[in-house]
């Protein structure tokens, strides 16, 4: 599928904005078009943060979408809010480390990844978003892993470059978990 | 990167495009959703021997822009709706003094303090004169980040061409979203237009230049106004810009600018799947408004459907352009709400 309308949502601080930016940038590195549209304003402080990423072969028309093809829910409120908008047959990625309820939808592919647990195991809960990113890219094929790495390398250049190996490891673990489930 | 495209936020792309257009002077006061422009300028301008100054208010900003523009250098400021309201007195003075400069208004919900979400409710202020007197701004409305880059550069060139302030009218979505952009090369400052015939550069060994919007003699002021109007007439003739999407066999014409203009393309594609032939007319220059082409297109459709993030402002220009040839309908969201493709489709289909 060439078109992806992705919503990534969670609490502020869970790294949902960065996850979206990496996906959007990686798609461009792969030669596709993309837009990254953040929610901004009061809801970023304490409440839910989300971003919408559209990836398409042709230039992106609307960066605003009604029916996502993929939803990443890093917490329960995000799953409830965006899970019901998900297109039939679409992917719902759920952070199983913090969400224990089930989404009542039989028509979508629900992928539960305990991203915080996996991140803790490799040394830092802060890279839970990268674990989710790895799982997401593995199953949706929205971009190549080479492009994801390049986008991350660009994002974590300079003083942040020391963080790169841990982030790449997290992406790898997420992809492995998604493959093995 | 395999590609030369960079993912940039609209605000940052506008700032970098301005620098690459030769802008070395920026004055501004932070306001959401455009503060990244000032932030970017504060970091980037010192690298290119430019000057960034954070002012104490928008009123100070516009008067610093006025002063800097008097020297003939490329200067800009950026703000969002309430901030642009505060600048209006100075904008009128600058237009009256015939000075080139660039304003950016990343529009947010209003009126009053409103909110910080994307809106298009400053169209009247931008195109009909937010300040006093018979003046016009050259107003350009980008719908993508790439176009924001191109129009920022064009704004500087048009400002010079007409010795008149130009305005980029964006909205919070264009400012905050990221999209791949290709940046133009850095403009060689020695290739910028020569303003030595009027600019205030120090009158040592030459007659002083005078930059003013003031003339106590009404006949003299009328002559100045005639000169402004001649420029505006020329701009109306030469600067109408727009984009069309699938208008060739359209039975209905959708009209929207900026953010809405691109959302309408998704609407057209959705409606095409249902066998309804529509096309988009997207004004790029809001002043001068592309009446001429709109009139031609309106003759070939059953009706025109205008969508805005306002209670209906540009739709008045659409009606002026269509001149009653076909019905002009309107759908709008207010307060910073961005309409989605599905809701626009529904609103459109109710008219069939």
Residues of chain B scoring pLDDT < 50 = 1-3
Using DSSP bridges, classify how beta strands B138-140 and B165-171 pair: parallel, antiparallel or unpaired.
Answer: parallel
Question: Residue A37 pairs with which residues in a beta bridge?
Answer: A52
Q: What is the pLDDT of residue A40?
A: 77
Question: Which A residues 54-93 touch B at CB under 8 Å?
Answer: 59-67
Q: What is the pLDDT of residue A13?
A: 86
Residue B103 and residue B78: Cα distance in Å, rounded?
6
Its ipTM equals: 0.94
Chain A residue numbers with beta carbons less than 8 Å from the beta carbon of B3 are: 28-29, 31
Q: What is the pLDDT of residue A42?
A: 60
Residue pointed to by tokens 């007319």:
B281
To the nearest whole angstrom, how far is the Cα of A41 from the nearest Cα of chain B?
7
Contacts of residue B162, Cβ cutoff 8 Å, sequence gap at least 6 = B100, B138, B231, B234, B235
Cβ–Cβ below 8 Å for A60 and B32: no
Q: What is the pLDDT of residue A48?
A: 79
To the nearest whole angstrom, how far is the Cα of A66 from the nearest Cα of chain B?
6
Cβ–Cβ below 8 Å for B3 and A38: no
Q: What is the pLDDT of residue B2?
A: 41
Chain B residue numbers with beta carbons less than 8 Å from the beta carbon of A64 are: 173, 263, 338-341
Q: What is the pLDDT of residue A43?
A: 55
The answer to whether residue A3 neighbours chain B at the CB level (below 8 Å) is no
Structural domains of chain A, ranges and CATH numbers in brackets:
4-180 (3.40.920.10)
Question: Residue B255 pairs with which residues in a beta bridge?
Answer: B281, B306
**DSSP character string of B243-278:** EEES-TT-SEEEE--HHHHHHHHHHHHHHHHTT--E
Q: What is the pLDDT of residue A41?
A: 67
Q: What is the pLDDT of residue A125?
A: 87
Taking each helix axis from N to C end, the angle separating B145-162 and B218-238, rounded to the nearest 10 degrees, works out to 140
To the nearest whole angstrom, how far is the Cα of B173 from the nearest Cα of chain A?
7
Nearest-by-CA chain A residue for B108: A41
Structural domains of chain B, ranges and CATH numbers in brackets:
6-201+226-237 (3.40.50.970), 242-349 (3.40.50.920)
Q: What is the pLDDT of residue A35?
A: 98
Tokens coding B335: 């307060």
Contact in structure between B276 and B250 (CB atoms under 8 Å): no
User: Residue range A124-144: average pLDDT?
Assistant: 96
Residue pointed to by tokens 């018979």:
B134
pLDDT tens by residue, A7-65: 999 998 899 999 999 999 999 999 999 999 999 766 555 577 999 999 999 999 999 99
Q: What is the pLDDT of residue B4?
A: 75
Nearest to B178 among A36, A66, A150 (CB): A36
């Amino acid at each position: 599928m060439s078109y992806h309308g992705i919503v990534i949502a969670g609490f502020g601080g869970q790294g949902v904005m960065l996850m979206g930016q990496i996906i959007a940038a990686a798609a461009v590195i792969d030669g596709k078009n993309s837009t990254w549209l953040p929610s901004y304003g009061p809801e970023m402080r304490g409440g839910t943060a989300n971003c919408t990423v559209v990836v398409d072969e042709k230039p992106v028309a609307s960066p605003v979408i009604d029916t996502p093809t993929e939803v990443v829910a890093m917490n329960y409120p995000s799953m409830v809010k965006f899970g019901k908008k998900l297109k039939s047959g679409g992917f719902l990625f759920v952070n199983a480390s913090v969400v224990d309820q089930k989404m009542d939808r039989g028509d979508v592919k629900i992928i539960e990844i305990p991203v915080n647990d996996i991140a803790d195991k490799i040394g830092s809960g802060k890279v839970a978003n990268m674990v989710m990113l790895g799982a997401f890219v593995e199953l949706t094929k929205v971009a190549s892993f080479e492009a994801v790495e390049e986008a991350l390398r660009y994002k974590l250049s300079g003083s942040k470059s020391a963080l790169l190996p841990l982030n790449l490891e997290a992406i790898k673990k997420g992809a492995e978990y998604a493959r093995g489930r | 990167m395999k590609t030369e495209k960079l993912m940039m936020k609209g605000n940052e792309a506008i700032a970098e495009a301005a620098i690459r257009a030769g802008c070395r002077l920026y004055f501004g006061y932070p306001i959401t959703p455009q503060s990244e422009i000032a932030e970017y300028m504060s970091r980037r301008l010192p690298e290119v021997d430019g000057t960034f100054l954070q002012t104490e208010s928008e009123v100070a900003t516009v008067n610093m822009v006025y002063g800097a523009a008097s020297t003939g250098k490329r200067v800009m400021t950026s703000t969002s709706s309430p901030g642009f309201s505060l600048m209006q007195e100075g904008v009128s003075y600058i237009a009256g003094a015939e000075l080139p400069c660039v304003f950016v208004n990343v529009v947010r919900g209003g009126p009053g303090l409103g909110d910080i979400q994307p809106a298009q409710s400053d169209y009247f202020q931008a195109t009909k004169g937010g300040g006093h007197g018979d003046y016009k701004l050259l107003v350009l409305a980008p719908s993508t980040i790439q176009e924001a880059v191109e129009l920022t550069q064009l704004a500087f060139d048009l400002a010079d061409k007409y010795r008149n302030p130009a305005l980029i009218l964006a909205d919070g979505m264009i400012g905050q979203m990221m999209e791949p952009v290709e940046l133009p090369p850095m403009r060689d400052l020695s290739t910028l237009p020569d303003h030595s015939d009027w600019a205030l550069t120090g009158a040592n060994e030459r007659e002083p230049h005078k930059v003013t919007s003031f003339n106590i003699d009404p006949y003299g002021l009328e002559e100045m106004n005639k000169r402004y109007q001649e420029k505006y007439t020329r701009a109306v003739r030469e600067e109408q810009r727009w984009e069309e999407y699938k208008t060739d066999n359209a039975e209905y014409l959708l009209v929207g600018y900026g953010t809405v203009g691109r959302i309408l393309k998704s609407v057209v594609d959705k409606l095409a799947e249902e066998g309804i032939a529509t096309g988009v007319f997207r004004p790029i220059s809001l002043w001068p408004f592309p009446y001429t082409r709109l009139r031609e297109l309106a003759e070939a459709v059953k009706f025109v459907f205008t969508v805005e993030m306002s209670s209906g402002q540009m739709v008045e220009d659409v009606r002026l352009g269509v001149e009653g040839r076909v019905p002009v309908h309107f759908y709008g969201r207010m307060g910073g709400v961005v309409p989605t493709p599905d809701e626009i489709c529904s609103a459109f289909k109710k008219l069939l």
